[in-house]
């Protein structure tokens, strides 16, 4: 499932990040790397960008960027 389609409040685990060069590199360096646990915190008022929690930080990214991240939603919403 793509990260940008994750329902708000859901936790998930990153499976892969599509390689588009520097953007992918930056995303992964900031923690959005395979295996990382993420949570979609909220969307901005106009629906874009979105805010995610990864490791111990809050990141804002655009939908076009979130689209590159494939995640597996956690079954239970702990």
Partner 1 sequence: MNPTLATPRLRIALIGNPNTGKSTLFNALTGLRQRVANYPGVTVEKKIGRFRLDGGEVELVDLPGTYSLAAHSPDEMLTVSLLSGEISEERPVDAVLAIVDSSNLERNLYLVSQLLDLGLPLIVALNRVDVARRKGMRIDPFLLERRLGAPVVLMRADRGEGLDRLLEILGQWLNTPPRPPLPEQPFQWPTPIARALSDLRARANHREWEIPASDAHLARLLIDEGGAAEERWSTTPARKKWLRRARCPPADDAVPLSALEVRSRYRWIQQITEGIIERRPSQSFPTDRIDRVLTHRIAGVLIFALLMIGLFETIFRGAQPAMNAIEALFAWFGVAVGDAIPDQEIQLGIRRPGALESLLVDGAIAGISGVVVFLPQILLLFLLIGILEDCGYMARAAFLMDRVMSFCGLSGKSFIPMLSGFACAIPAVMGTRVIENRRDRLATILVTPLMTCSARLPVYTLLIAAFIPDSTLLGGVLGLQAATMAALYALGILSAMVMAALLKRTLLRGPTPPFVLELPTYQWPCVRSLGLRLLDRAMAFLRRAGTVIFAVSVLVWAAAYFPRSATIDAEFAARSAGMNSESRSAQSVESTRPDPAESEESLESPTCLDRSREWEAAHLENSFAARLGRQLEPVFRPLGWDWRITVATLLSLPAREVIVATLGTLFSLGEGLSENDTSLQSALQRAAWPDGRPLFTLGVALSVMVFFALCCQCWSTVIVIRREANSWSWALFTFGYMTILAYVGGAVAHEIGELA
Q: Which of residues 55-74 bind partner 1 (CB under 8 A)?
A: 55-62, 64-65
Q: Cβ distance 55 to 33 under 8 Å?
A: no
Helices (H), 2-78: 22-29, 63-66
Does position 21 interact with partner 1 (CB under 8 A)? The reply is: yes
CA-atom Rg of the chain in angstroms: 11
Closest approach of Cβ 76 to partner 1, in Å?
17
User: Which residues of the chain form contacts with partner 1 (CB under 8 A)?
Assistant: 17, 19, 21-31, 33-35, 41-42, 44-49, 51, 55-62, 64-65
């Amino acid at each position: 499932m793509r990260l940008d389609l994750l329902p708000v409040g859901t936790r998930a685990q990153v499976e892969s990040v599509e390689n588009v060069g520097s953007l992918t590199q930056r995303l992964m360096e900031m923690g959005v790397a395979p295996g990382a646990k993420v949570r979609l915190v909220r969307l901005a008022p106009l629906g874009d960008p979105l805010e995610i929690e990864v490791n111990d930080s809050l990141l804002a990214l655009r939908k076009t960027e979130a689209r590159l991240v494939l995640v597996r939603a956690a079954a239970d919403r702990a």
